[in-house]
Structure 1
Amino acid sequence: MQNPKEKMDVSQSILSLIFIISIGVISFLVIHPFILGFSWASMIVISTWPLMLKIQKFLGGKRSLAVAIMIIILLLLFIIPVFFLVNSLIATSIPLIHWFSSNNLEFPELVWLQDIPLIGKKIFISYQDLLSGDGGELIREVRPYMGRTTEFIILQAKNCGLFVIHLMLMLFFSVLLYWNGEKISKSIRHFACRLSSKNGDAIIFLAVQAVRAVALGVAVTALIQAILSGIGLLVSGVPYWALLMIIIVFSCLVQLGPLPILIPSIIWLYWNNNTTWGTILLIWSCLVFILDHILRPFFIRMGADLPILLILSGVIGGLLAFGIIGLFIGPVVLVIFYRLIISWIYGISIASILNNTSLK
């Protein structure tokens, strides 16, 4: 009786493997421009899927109207603020570009340096020597490069254009995912069960939990903090409050909180002798900061019964490793790894751990 391995054609196996790898690489290159938009759409649809089902139920089961309402909500939350941010950046950067490009660029006198005790006069004399000597030479060397600010603006405009394209792709893929959510979910679950019949379905459930926990505990909290901070900045009379509010959103997403923006605003108010509004904004900032530590754990518990430290570690690590999309990738990977380790330690499936957790 012949061994089946003797009938194996080694050359055919190698060529088949090369063909499969080549097809995989080419397919990745083809879909690469759409990966970021599809990833964002997937995270958003997973996070907002329960809301879409409630809207569909309220509208009598009409999926098309529910999808249209969800897209309008996404437009209000993502597209309009981004265009507003770009316009604000352009409006605030034009005077700065004119100042850099002008031939009247001069260093300030800094007369107040003389008022610093002990070392102030020495620093002021050294600074004046720099201006009268090497300082003038420095200005002459820098001026030819001022015209390159236009090139920088063009590069940033290109990046903004790519960002807008990804947003449009995100909206397009969101429509497809909302419309065919059940079919896509069933296909993903079948694929996961083919990889692991024991834990595949539970891993998909964990991934969905982690995404919703991040969306509620991190994204929603950041949005609430930014809105409250923007109200405080507007009422206290801080200029460019809308631009600062959008920056606060990103600051809260990366877990820095609103204080890196609010504290300089408070200092600016006191510097301009607006002590009353500075004090009011200081008290308001303290309330917003405290609210962060109340809302985030509450929303994370609403999204999933997962360790808060694990979610926050995944958010920060994911941002550092993968950029803004890592906001969701990091927690998903950490949660799945955490549950796999627990299941291996106790010798039971992830589904059993989830059932025991829910019973508790």
Structure 2
Amino acid sequence: MVVVLLVGVLAILKPFAAAILFGATLAIAAWPLRQWMIGRGVGPRLTAALLLLLSLLVIVLPALIMAPVLTDELKAFTESVENYFAATPQRPGWIENVPLIGGKLASAWDGLLEAKGDVATALAPQSEILQRWLITAARALGDSVVQMILALIVATMFCINGSKLVEELDSIVVRLGGATAHASLLAAAGAVRSVSYGVIGTALAQAALLVLGLALAGVPGATTLGFVGLLLSISQIGAPLLVLIWGGAAWWLFGQGQVGWGSFMVAWGVLVSMVDNVLKPWLIGRGIRMPMPLTILGVFGGFIAFGFLGLFIGPTLLAVAFVLLQAWRTSPPG
């Protein structure tokens, strides 16, 4: 009966698993701020409402502000591409030698030349593929918005009843495994919190620096490119692709005869890419007592295994396993 009951509960919660996990991650990340506000005399419900408002300001408001900016910059970028290819520029010989995608890039360049820069005409043969891709992207975006709203609701509920939930969860794990289980619970919370600060904080820092450098150099579409850089940095796997953004911007500047700004863009881009190697380990290492190589392995391995939420699940599982291993190693033999 217990097994059947657990299976039924899991079946009910399965559609909301991502929202619950992400909501719990948000609540854990914001827990120190929540405790600080409650310690200053703010009630749990008011604290939860203020944190929800803060989440909306941090997540939703920038999206609303960015939407028209991205639209305008995308339109300006398309016009720049059309004007550039309307002048029938000669295709660089190195494009065909780009690994994996060189042939496709060369074909796209030739297609734009034949269409005299008309992007719509050049993409007409791939219209069906693009339409399917746009529909898939729109569906994924809609699902993401719904999941985000549910996650914020879950995080708000955790913030309201957080203290009682922490006490009950701590009581359960101590009853199951004693002090070792309690230490594992603290390690799991520390891992989630540290990765939240490390991944999101580093991505925001890289995106802000990238936009600043692009804007100073006068590269068109700086905000759009910075937004793309933010997504690449958060994804971890795409973080090394940041070089395509600042490298492409530098190439464009050199092509415009702006050697000074092109050199600045190269130096600034190297700085942006190196921030990931310095800031992220420092932020992650502040809240979790685990070897840094193991933590980074958990971040990347978790992302590959479970997707975005794996960024938090991977280090958490490794942190709990590490604590249990340490407890077993230090326990008296026999």
* TM-score (norm: length of structure 1): 0.72
Range with bigger deviation, 289-298 or 266-275: 289-298
Distance 1:295 1:68, change over 3 A: same
Residue 264 (str. 1) matches residue 248 (str. 2): yes
Task: Tell me by how many angstroms 1:144 deviates.
Answer: 7.0
Distance 2:243 2:93 in 1: 32
Secondary structure in 2 matching 1:202: helix
1:346 aligned residue: 330
1:1-360 aligned at under 5 Å gives the runs: 16=1, 20-58=2-40, 60-82=41-63, 112=91, 146-147=127-128, 149-255=130-236, 256-257=239-240, 258-347=242-331
> One-letter code of the match for 1:278?
G
Distance 1:273 1:95 in 2: 21
Distance 1:148 1:287, change over 3 A: closer
> One-letter code of the match for 2:142?
G
Distance 1:332 1:201 in 2: 14
Task: Tell me by how many angstroms 1:62 deviates.
Answer: 3.2
Does 1 or 2 have the higher relative contact order (CA < 8 Å, sep 6+)? 2
Distance 2:94 2:60 in 1: 50
1:213-261 Cα deviation digits (max 9, x unpaired): 2122232122112111111122222233222222222322343254343
Unaligned runs of 5+ residues in structure 2 are: 79-86, 96-106, 112-122
> One-letter code of the match for 2:157?
L
> How many residues are paired up?
302
* C-alpha RMSD of the superposition: 3.6
Unaligned runs of 5+ residues in structure 1 are: 1-15, 98-107, 117-126, 132-141, 350-360
Task: Tell me by how many angstroms 1:163 deviates.
Answer: 0.6
Cα pair 1:37 1:169 within 8 Å, conserved: yes
Cα pair 1:45 1:178 within 8 Å, conserved: yes
Larger Rg: 1
Task: Tell me by how many angstroms 1:82 deviates.
Answer: 4.5
Distance 1:334 1:167, change over 3 A: same
Range with bigger deviation, 231-240 or 155-164: 231-240
> One-letter code of the match for 2:316?
V
Secondary structure in 2 matching 1:305: coil
Distance 2:178 2:49 in 1: 37
Task: Tell me by how many angstroms 1:88 deviates.
Answer: 6.7
Task: Tell me by how many angstroms 1:91 deviates.
Answer: 6.7
Task: Tell me by how many angstroms 1:147 deviates.
Answer: 4.4
Identical pairs, percent: 27
Distance 1:57 1:274, change over 3 A: farther
Cα pair 1:79 1:167 within 8 Å, conserved: no
Secondary structure in 2 matching 1:71: helix
Distance 1:40 1:219 in 2: 13
Distance 1:145 1:268 in 2: 27
> One-letter code of the match for 2:214?
L
1:358 aligned residue: none
Distance 2:304 2:49 in 1: 34
Secondary structure in 2 matching 1:26: helix
Task: Tell me by how many angstroms 1:334 deviates.
Answer: 0.9
Distance 1:146 1:311 in 2: 43
Range with bigger deviation, 43-52 or 243-252: 243-252
Secondary structure in 1 matching 2:286: helix
Distance 1:345 1:334 in 2: 16
Distance 2:24 2:323 in 1: 22
> One-letter code of the match for 2:27?
V
> One-letter code of the match for 1:338?
F
Distance 1:76 1:240, change over 3 A: farther
Distance 1:111 1:229, change over 3 A: closer
Distance 2:321 2:94 in 1: 59
Distance 1:61 1:343, change over 3 A: same
Distance 2:4 2:305 in 1: 28
